[in-house]
């Protein structure tokens, strides 16, 4: 019977700001995390990711390579970021040139189990739980659905 090669998760080669709090277990490597940011358990943050100051990343979130998140952002439980759009009909694998980047502005909240494809999201946006963001969001507001569409302006209290 063959034995598997066991790799260990953990925290490796991370640039931390001041007062960062992390609840283990996590898999965080070769990224940067800004001041006063909280990282919940069972989170993976991959190589090259940049997370700003005063953010909260809840449990089970997955933030892949080529993602930048601004300041004062909230990433809820189970949110997933995607950098491979399967452009050639299958996973790109090691062909990083096929991957695409994602940029999240400041003051953005991303709801539970939302999926964020390679897009740019402007400042002051709320993404509803379970939404799938497939296109750039260039206007502040509240977005929900699959694909995510603007449902109202911020402060329209309904």
Domains of the chain are 13-85+99-152 (2.160.10.10)
158 pLDDT tier (thresholds 50, 70, 90): low
Question: What is the enclosing helix (H) or strand (E) of 104?
Answer: strand 102-104
Range list of H helices, the chain: none
Query: What tens digit of pLDDT does each residue of 51-90 get?
Result: 999 999 999 999 999 999 999 999 999 999 999 999 889 9
Alpha carbon dihedral 110, 62, 46, 32, in 10-degree steps, equals 40
Q: And the tokens for 53? A: 């100051």
Tokens 């069972």 locate to 42
Query: Once rounded to an integer, what is the mean pLDDT over residues 104-120?
Result: 98
| Ramachandran quadrant class, 98 (left: phi over 0; alpha: psi -120 to 50; beta: rest) | alpha
């Amino acid at each position: 019977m063959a034995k598997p090669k066991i790799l260990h998760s953990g925290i490796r080669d991370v640039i931390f700001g001041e007062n960062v709090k992390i609840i283990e277990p996590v898999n965080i490597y070769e990224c940067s995390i800004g001041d006063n940011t909280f990282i919940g358990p069972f989170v993976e943050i991959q190589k090259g990711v940049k997370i700003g100051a005063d953010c909260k990343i809840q449990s089970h979130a997955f933030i892949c390579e080529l993602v930048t998140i601004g300041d004062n952002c909230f990433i809820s439980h189970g949110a997933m970021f995607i950098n491979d759009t399967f452009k050639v009909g299958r996973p790109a694998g090691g062909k990083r040139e096929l991957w695409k980047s994602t940029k999240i502005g400041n003051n953005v909240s991303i709801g539970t189990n939302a999926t964020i494809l390679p897009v740019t999201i402007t400042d002051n946006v709320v993404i509803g739980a379970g939404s799938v963001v497939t296109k750039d969001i260039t206007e502040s507001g509240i977005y929900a659905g699959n694909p995510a569409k603007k449902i109202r302006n911020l402060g329209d209290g309904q």
